[in-house]
Amino acid sequence: MLWVDKHRPKTLDQIIVHEEVAQNLKKLVTEQDCPHLLFYGPTGSGKKTLIMALLRQMFGPGAEKVKVENKTWKVDAGSRTIDLDLTTLSSTHHVELNPSDAGFQDRYIVQEIIKEMAKNRPIDTKGKKGYKVLVLNEVDKLSREAQHSLRRTMEKYSASCRLILCCNSSSKVTEAIRSRCLNVRIHAPTEEQIVKVLEFIGNKEGVQLPSGLAARIAEKSNRSLRRAILSFETCRVQQYPFTSNQAIPPMDWEEYVSEIASDIMKEQSPKRLFQVRGKLYELLINCIPPEIILKRLLFELLKKLDAELKHEVCHWAAYYEHRMRLGQKSIFHMEAFVAKFMSIYKAFLIATFG
């Protein structure tokens, strides 16, 4: 098992970084009338961990006995029946699912499946709680329609069911849903907090972790706990005993993006654009989300540019990322950004050096 999973704290009392939130959550569920919850914050900040520990607090160890189910639901969509494949993770007390997996059909998941689950009281009579919990991941990726469909369900069946919603950007969750939940913000851990977790894991694994190395891993993690723990384990595989200044291997895809940035700073031509397209495709094929690639590319470019160009380039990155959301083929927009950058940069070089 990877360290990120192996050392995930199981109970609210074991939580290291968001201790205060964890203690608050404990108080929250002592009463029967717990409101719906919306957890939001960057990836790798510890949301999932807190939610799992919270379920355990509510229902005891039984909440950890989960089974994964793949089921095809037949949904009556008026004139025709559609098949929706859905993966759920469930215990006797809760069900976890990712409704946005259904893409543009996500509304049916909310209208048919989630409502059905919310309606039915938990069968378990020995249970401590009179309600069950639905955990919905990535609610920020739900369409507006699907979000609207969720509103009244949250009110109507609140006696039998609590929702725990989880997302990265709460701006993308409609006001109507946010105002029906207690909002819990989970900030990315600070570098010091990350070091603490790394030391904790180092202890458990019985490895000697020099503080210099821990600090460098934390610094390179971009405040993502998951990422820090993953690099820590990679370092362990690559070189042990550790030294303070040993290399921390970057992620492959990030190196690749950094190459693209160098490529387009060196040469601005149709030929180069064509080569870069190949590399962008390569990244997309490896399932790196297009907006992540674009942001990383911007990050690399900003490191190398003059101040006056930075404004211009960040403008176009935002512009093309927005267009990408509205369009369908992300490669077009990424390529357009690269071409735009080449044109600006070339004009800049000519103006500066003639």
Partner 1 sequence: MAPMLQSSQPWVEKYRPKQVKDVAHQDEVVKVLSNTLETTNCPHMLFYGPPGTGKTTTALAIAHQLYGPELYKSRVLELNASDDRGINVVRTKIKDFAAVAVGSGHRQGGYPCPPYKIIILDEADSMTEDAQNALRRTMETYSKVTRFFFICNYISRIIEPLASRCAKFRFKPLSEEIMSSRILHICNEEGLNLDSEALSTLSSISQGDLRRAITYLQGAARLFGSNISSKDLISVSGVIPQEVVQALFAACKSGDFDLANKEVNNVIAEGYPVSQMLSQLFDVVVEADDISDEQKARICKRLGETDKCLVDGADEYLQLLEVASNTMRALCNMPQEFSFES
- Pairing mode, strands 94-97 and 80-90: antiparallel
Binding status of residue 241 toward partner 1 by CB under 8 A? no
Binding status of residue 169 toward partner 1 by CB under 8 A? yes
Helices 270-285 and 290-304, interaxial angle, to 10°?
130
The 10 Å Cβ neighbour count of residue 238 is 12
Binding status of residue 227 toward Mg ion by CB under 5 A? no
Q: Are residues 284 and 330 in contact, defined by beta-carbon separation less than 8 angstroms? A: yes
Work out what residue 197 binds among Mg ion, partner 1, ligand ADP, none; the CB cut-off runs from 5 to 8 Å by kind. ligand ADP
Q: How far is the CB of 194 from ligand ADP (least distance, A)?
A: 9
Number of residues that bind Mg ion (CB under 5 A): 1
Site for ligand ADP in 19-78 (CB under 6 A): 43-49
- Pairing mode, strands 80-90 and 67-77: antiparallel
Binding status of residue 202 toward ligand ADP by CB under 6 A? no
Binding status of residue 141 toward Mg ion by CB under 5 A? no
DSSP secondary structure code for residue 305 in this structure: S
Structure token pair of residue 73: 């639901």
| Position 94, amino acid | H
Residue from 114, 197, 283, 288 that binds ligand ADP (CB under 6 A)? 197
**CA 165 → CA 1, 3, 98, 113, 213, distances in Å?**
27, 26, 10, 16, 36
Structure token pair of residue 326: 């509205």
Q: How far is the CB of 47 from Mg ion (least distance, A)?
A: 6
**CA 186 → CA 20, 157, 198, distances in Å?**
11, 27, 19
The site map against partner 1 for 300-319 (x = CB under 8 A) is: --x----xxxxxx-xx-xx-
Binding status of residue 327 toward partner 1 by CB under 8 A? no
Binding status of residue 107 toward ligand ADP by CB under 6 A? no
Q: How far is the CB of 193 from ligand ADP (least distance, A)?
A: 8
Site for Mg ion in 25-54 (CB under 5 A): 48
Residues that bind Mg ion (CB under 5 A): 48
